[in-house]
Structure 1
Amino acid sequence: MGKDISLRTVKVVRYILPLREGGSLPALAEADDGFKYVLKFRGAGHGTKMLVSELLGGKIASVLGLQIPELVFATLDDDFGRSEGDEEIQDLLKGSEGLNLGLHYLSGAIAYDPTVKIDPFLASKIVWLDAFITNIDRTFNNTNLLWWHRELWVIDNGASFYFHHSWNDFERHALNPFPHIKDHVLLSQASMLDEADQFAHEVLSDDLLEEITKLIPGEWLVWNHTQETPEEIRGVYLNLLKTRLHHSQNFLNTAKDARG
């Protein structure tokens, strides 16, 4: 039996407060299961593409054995947020009716201090992940890593798969050596990149990547700028991931050179 990659669906019952980080205006919210979640909204800046990045990146991180808050599908009713006084937030909530994405809130977590040394294999796995999913946002300026219960947790993969904002030339993007990895906060500690690559190839497979891409809700893949169906768009993501896995030496060598 492989790892269960399915997501629960919860209903948001209370908007608690905005988390003003970047342009996406995530929020702390409570769901009908009694838990609090960091809510990522489909009505935010990059729309559902950011949710796709969070979902794919988060599930791949989890399969690679990294600690990541539980991801859930989070539904917003059409009357949710009507009493919200902030006009910007009310517009965001109105534009986010339906299916959004939540990450379990890690109460009491603290931001990772880049001066703290961690296990080199763990650092290497995180660097490999971010090069694989082309995540440009795990840097010294914004680590997107948390300490919680004495473990390092990976959060916020929304800046991954940036190819989808232009949505063309997929073959070139699939073979992207990802030079941005030079700015990765953990690169200097990632001394086991070959071992991380071997581990990833043992854990990830084309079939598993297909399972993960099938998790993307069809309603997140109805885009104005393309005639492609949700199934065809899923196919693009799957082919990109399969190609990047099969040609991982492209970005692995870039990361090793950047360590120099």
Structure 2
Amino acid sequence: MRYVMPLREGGSLPALADADDGFSYVLKFKGAGQREKALIAELLGGEIARVLGLKVPELVFANLDEAFGRSEGDEEIQDLLKGSQGLNLALHFLSKALTYDPGATAIDSVLASKIVWLDAFITNVDRSFRNTNMLWWNRELWLIDHGASFLFHHAWDNWEKQALSSFPMIKDHVLLPKASQLSEVDHEMKVLITEEKLDQLVSLIPDEWILASRDVETAEEGKAVYASFLKTRLNNSENFIKGAEDARKALI
């Protein structure tokens, strides 16, 4: 309902906003650079992380009031808001959270391995030393910003090959040096994130977000591809585990 301020740390120019439920949220706009695909990745990546027992702020669908941000004087932001009318996505705002600093806060190897497993699974390229996309809040590590995940949906015709990829870009992951338990956590992750659970999460994607890119004829077709991509990666997790372990050996 109320545009509080832009959060210029993010390349997609999210905003701090107040909603009609009385809470504050970090609002992600479908009118930003990667448009609806970033919101799909944010939704799927965040909810998969939650199923795996990792800390993620509450995710909500957010409809913009027509008066939202009307007083904002920045023309770039006004254009962003005009292109984002309708259904967007928001994360519960973690007040007074601190950006995770790997040099200041030690993370145990099991937690590090779970996060690296997640990011290799969903092909998330954006958890690096330059931008950790993790927050320290209430003495716990919270994961944010999964919009750079699911690289395959930027080249839709190549998803089968990418589903089997070892994901070489994991070499830049901020927690990779600490992730010494990847094989050990693999079984635990697969118990939690079953094929049935993946189907449930994929079903959350709004049809209009899938159809906006015009990559597929129907929303059902698009959801089937997301589900098949995830199930293939899950059933072939040894590919991305080996890729991560090889990348880690090159570091230490």
Q: TM-score, normalised by structure 1?
A: 0.93
Cα distance in structure 1, aligned partners of 2:28 and 2:5: 13
Moved over 6 A (4+): none
Preserved contact between residue 176 and residue 251 of structure 1 (Cα < 8 Å): yes
Residue 54 of structure 1 is matched in structure 2 by: 42
> 2:2 aligned with 1:14, yes or no?
yes
Per the TM alignment, residue 80 of structure 1 is displaced from its structure 2 partner at its CA by 2.5
Cα distance in structure 1, aligned partners of 2:145 and 2:10: 11
Alignment of 1:1-260 (within 5 A): 13-115=1-103, 116-260=105-249
Cα distance in structure 1, aligned partners of 2:70 and 2:212: 26
Letter in structure 1 aligned against 2:212: W
Cα distance in structure 2, aligned partners of 1:21 and 1:247: 35
Per the TM alignment, residue 224 of structure 1 is displaced from its structure 2 partner at its CA by 4.4
Per the TM alignment, residue 65 of structure 1 is displaced from its structure 2 partner at its CA by 0.3
Letter in structure 2 aligned against 1:152: L
Per the TM alignment, residue 70 of structure 1 is displaced from its structure 2 partner at its CA by 0.5
Per the TM alignment, residue 182 of structure 1 is displaced from its structure 2 partner at its CA by 0.8
Deviation sequence 1:127-163 (CA, Å, 0-9, x none): 0000000000000000001100000001110100011
Deviation sequence 1:194-234 (CA, Å, 0-9, x none): 12111111111111000000000111111344342111101
> Which runs of 5 or more structure 2 residues have no equivalent in the other structure?
none
Preserved contact between residue 78 and residue 94 of structure 1 (Cα < 8 Å): no
Deviation sequence 1:166-200 (CA, Å, 0-9, x none): 21111101111101111100011111111211111
Letter in structure 2 aligned against 1:93: L
> After the TM superposition, which of the residue ranges 161-170 and 119-128 deviates more from structure 2?
161-170
> Which runs of 5 or more structure 1 residues have no equivalent in the other structure?
1-12
Letter in structure 1 aligned against 2:76: E
SS of residue matched to 2:62: strand
CA spacing shift, 1:145–1:227, aligned 2, 3 Å: closer
Letter in structure 1 aligned against 2:148: A
SS of residue matched to 1:168: helix
Cα distance in structure 2, aligned partners of 1:209 and 1:130: 16
Deviation sequence 1:13-50 (CA, Å, 0-9, x none): 10000001343110000001111000000111110000
Higher helix share: 2
Preserved contact between residue 216 and residue 222 of structure 2 (Cα < 8 Å): no
Cα distance in structure 2, aligned partners of 1:31 and 1:198: 39
Cα distance in structure 2, aligned partners of 1:120 and 1:244: 23
Letter in structure 2 aligned against 1:195: E
Cα distance in structure 2, aligned partners of 1:79 and 1:36: 17
**Identical columns (%):** 63
Q: TM-score, normalised by structure 2?
A: 0.96
Cα distance in structure 2, aligned partners of 1:74 and 1:193: 36
Cα distance in structure 1, aligned partners of 2:45 and 2:223: 14
